[in-house]
Structure 1
Amino acid sequence: MSCEIDSTTVADRDEQYCSILNRELVCALGCTEPIAVAYAAAIARETLGSEPEHLELECSGNIIKNVKSVTVPNSGGMHGLEAAATLGAVGGNPENALEVLESVDDAARARTAELLADPAFADVSLAENVPNLYIRVKAQADDHTADIIISDHHTNVVWRALDDQKLSGSWDAPECAAAVADTARTQGSSLSLEGIIDFAEHGEITGARAALMRQMELNDAISREGLEHAWGAEVGRTLLASRPDDVADRARARAAAGSDARMSGCAMPVVIVCGSGNQGITTCLPVLEYAEKLGVTGDRLLRALALSDLVAIHVKSYIGELSAFCGAVCAACGAGAAITWMSGGTREQIGATVVNTLGNVGGIVCDGAKSSCAAKISASVDAAILGHSMAMAGKSFHAGEGIVQETIEETIASMGYVGRVGMKPTDVEILNIMIGKTQVDC
């Protein structure tokens, strides 16, 4: 692959890519779906001007799926939509966005438990014909009602009203759902593997340097926490105990350990990618581990991480924010591409790494945020490392084999179509099983 573009275009591209990284690489405390629910509830409380007497939650299936089994951070071990919303309404600070629960104290936790003891305090319902990421919180007190809608992105407040009087935003469910779908189909056009590699090798990354350094610092810290203490299913600790001297196993363990801690309510912030802390961890930790082995430091390490993040964003952009397609696969594609780049691989080998990864684990399903996410991260990173090894040996999957197409970009788009369209019915059935609507005969 090669590309010749003038200096003006290069400068514009570098600015755009840095802007994408700064938009994506933001801090979050805990799993982003319960945090987004807490954020909406905190805004509702602020709009209402008092503690709610009743909460009504309407959420898309993907939000329900991703909040059901994960521990709400800073909650003292609480789970579920009701806990996330109530804690956000009682003790959340909406100014902190995805770190809304950072300042929650014992009094807020006690008050949350007291309110949740009344099963009538919070009602939850499934919202249909809405975007995959959709949260609506109605908070009521003293005959007043605050109405908040978040859609498409975790902090994207599209509607804020008090007593049916609009304060900000505009909302029409069918039109907004269609707009989100159109965005998912076209979003990938702003990135290409060719442009990402050019940016990593020669681009001006100063504009994103602080965000990349923060990603390394925070995500490394939560990974070490996951290895040092018994969080979740201890996937990372189990991996590291079996083969501590193997770089591939260390890369899998470091990534999995961060998820072990995060999914179990660890109150340490992470830097997210594609709206996901697990994906932000997966793009980062394998790169750090291989960089240490390869002696990659300083500016080259930052460029490798930028490459990893941007490849993940590119692959995920065709799928959309939430789906039945496990986003760890997209993040692992980025990590594998960066490992190949740090190892001196050619552009063709970097592309082959991505194709090999997608051709292997492109069908991992997302059945919600929970402790097994760490294992899925491990499996995805393992596939990326295999894809890297194959590519460095001149081996790859070929066009016509499954969904692999003639070019890397066509392959990414095809896998995105599977995740966005093909797996949509799968998403519905996964949710039906999780909420008990479907009983599977044995």
Structure 2
Amino acid sequence: MDQEIYRAYLDILKEELIPAMGCTEPVAVACAAAKGRELLGLLPERCEISVSGNILKNAKSVIVPNTGGLKGLEAAVAAGVAAGDPAASLEVLSAVSKERFQEIGDYMERHEIRVLLAETGENFHIDLRLSAAGHSARVVVSRRHTNIILLEKDGEPVFQAEDEAGGADGAADRRVLNIRDIVAFAEAVRMSDIESIIDRQVAYNTAIAREGLTGNWGAQIGKTLLSHYDGTDVVVRAKAAAAAGSDARMSGCQLPVVIVSGSGNQGLAASLPVIEFAGHLGNSREALYRALVVSNLVTIYQKAGIGRLSAFCGAVCAGCGAGAGIAFLHGGRYDEIAHTIVNALAVISGMTCDGAKPSCAAKIAAAVDNGIFGYKLYLAGHQFYAGDGIVTKGVDSTIENVARLAREGMHKTDREILSIMVENRRI
């Protein structure tokens, strides 16, 4: 395999498969707040945060972990400012003790935290301004959850990216991704290069799924699937595991998740079904890890063309990724995986994202089922053909059509969803 592509794919996995505790949008806000307080050098008297619509959408209905059950952007800002660790990235709140929950709540009550909707063309944008004792600090994050593009102290730049695409965590170029090379990389990659990355994904995501299936989290989608359907069926177990992880995560569980494409829910949906099938089939650890490489990269590839946040539910991409990984576990390679992806994308590419919340677990279950169905449809000798709706000739071209649908076609949908959610917020 071409060594430049090999290195690029490995870099992408290292950049994407990182741990996060809590829903990544409010946690990204908490990260910015912790960094801002560090820059300011004292507790802010006033906070003003301007965010893109999708940040607002994804922070509205989820519990910010380690806050005692608080929700929303104000809670994320307060937690980051009052108790966050600026060096811990997306685990910024992981070390907050119960004794500090009251401190976070008190900060929210006693200090002004103003939330504004940013006028920006970026789907991911955070602009946080803090002030106290005549001093000010500003943190701007754009495009990716940890991509700081501007740090200011008292109006003077401390750090400024050359352009918005490359900030403090300049990313590898995702345009090198394609299905044929993803499969080739999964077969060729040295285990020593991916072992630590995938080890952590398996351990973290399995742990939170187990918590979701044993605790009483959210709408209990995972537990409901196992109790109302055949729990011995590997497909049911695969859906339940992914949904259970989301049940716990959306409701403030303090366990971390290894995310994919900036999303914990996508990280769960891309990994847990593949892990469940590997156990069912008796696959080796190496086979599982290579299949997870397929699932993760297929998910990342689809989301790269869509963007971090949009009106398109990212669980669809991860469900397709899981279907591709499961096909790989069964011995499928390029043809089987390509047909699995196209079959899956032909069915529920219209599923919308109306923010992070407990019902995301149910959407994950539907997306995983769809990805597995895409593979089963291929096994049955059936497929969707070019000209069937948005399906076109070639899996990569079909993925681009879906990206275009999500990126451009659903732009107005995104605005309408946000408008509805803002109206509901006032109720």
TM-score, structure 2 normalization? 0.95
Taking the aligned partners of 2:333 and 2:215, their CA distance within structure 1 comes to 39
Aligned pair in 2 of structure 1 residues 130, 86: CA closer, same or farther (>3 Å)? farther
Find the counterpart in structure 1 of residue 84 from structure 2.
Answer: 92
Find the counterpart in structure 2 of residue 3 from structure 1.
Answer: none
1:169 matched to 2:160: yes
1:33 matched to 2:20: no
Find the counterpart in structure 2 of residue 111 from structure 1.
Answer: 103
Taking the aligned partners of 2:406 and 2:192, their CA distance within structure 1 comes to 34
One-letter amino acid matched to 2:218: G
Aligned pair in 2 of structure 1 residues 274, 210: CA closer, same or farther (>3 Å)? same
Query: Following TM superposition, by how much is the alpha carbon of 1:346 offset from its aligned partner in structure 2, in angstroms?
Result: 4.3
Aligned pairs (5 A) from 1:65-104: 65-104=57-96
Alignment counterpart, residue 137 of structure 1, candidates 128, 132, 137: 128
1:198 matched to 2:177: no
Query: Following TM superposition, by how much is the alpha carbon of 1:18 offset from its aligned partner in structure 2, in angstroms?
Result: 1.3
Taking the aligned partners of 2:35 and 2:259, their CA distance within structure 1 comes to 22
Taking the aligned partners of 1:76 and 1:400, their CA distance within structure 2 comes to 52
Taking the aligned partners of 1:277 and 1:342, their CA distance within structure 2 comes to 23
Number of aligned residue pairs: give it.
423
Taking the aligned partners of 1:313 and 1:246, their CA distance within structure 2 comes to 28
Find the counterpart in structure 1 of residue 347 from structure 2.
Answer: 360
One-letter amino acid matched to 2:115: V
Query: Following TM superposition, by how much is the alpha carbon of 1:107 offset from its aligned partner in structure 2, in angstroms?
Result: 4.1
Query: Following TM superposition, by how much is the alpha carbon of 1:226 offset from its aligned partner in structure 2, in angstroms?
Result: 0.1
Say whether the 8 Å CA contact 2:82–2:107 is kept in structure 1: no
Q: 1:26-67 deviations in whole A, cap 9, x for unaligned? A: 000011001000000001100111111111010000000000
Deviates more, 1:199-208 or 1:289-298: 199-208
Say whether the 8 Å CA contact 2:191–2:286 is kept in structure 1: no
SS state at 1:436 partner: helix
Aligned pairs (5 A) from 1:332-343: 332-343=319-330
Find the counterpart in structure 1 of residue 194 from structure 2.
Answer: 208
Find the counterpart in structure 2 of residue 50 from structure 1.
Answer: 42
Alignment counterpart, residue 224 of structure 1, candidates 210, 215, 223: 210
Taking the aligned partners of 2:109 and 2:184, their CA distance within structure 1 comes to 56
SS state at 1:136 partner: strand
Deviates more, 1:270-279 or 1:387-396: 387-396
Q: 1:92-151 deviations in whole A, cap 9, x for unaligned? A: 001000000011123432122112224x61000000124111111111110111110011
Query: Following TM superposition, by how much is the alpha carbon of 1:200 offset from its aligned partner in structure 2, in angstroms?
Result: 1.3
Find the counterpart in structure 2 of residue 402 from structure 1.
Answer: 389
Alignment counterpart, residue 64 of structure 1, candidates 56, 77, 82: 56
One-letter amino acid matched to 1:237: K
Taking the aligned partners of 1:62 and 1:33, their CA distance within structure 2 comes to 9
Query: Following TM superposition, by how much is the alpha carbon of 1:221 offset from its aligned partner in structure 2, in angstroms?
Result: 0.3
Give unmatched runs, 5+ long, in structure 2.
Answer: none
Taking the aligned partners of 1:42 and 1:273, their CA distance within structure 2 comes to 23
TM-score, structure 1 normalization? 0.92
Taking the aligned partners of 1:146 and 1:203, their CA distance within structure 2 comes to 44
Find the counterpart in structure 2 of residue 159 from structure 1.
Answer: 150
Identical pairs, percent:
46
Query: Following TM superposition, by how much is the alpha carbon of 1:222 offset from its aligned partner in structure 2, in angstroms?
Result: 0.2
Deviates more, 1:204-213 or 1:237-246: 204-213
Say whether the 8 Å CA contact 1:135–1:149 is kept in structure 2: yes
CA RMSD in angstroms comes to 2.0
Aligned pairs (5 A) from 1:215-294: 215-242=201-228, 243-294=230-281
Find the counterpart in structure 2 of residue 4 from structure 1.
Answer: none
SS state at 1:241 partner: helix
Aligned pair in 2 of structure 1 residues 151, 121: CA closer, same or farther (>3 Å)? same
1:328 matched to 2:304: no
One-letter amino acid matched to 1:212: I
Say whether the 8 Å CA contact 1:356–1:396 is kept in structure 2: yes
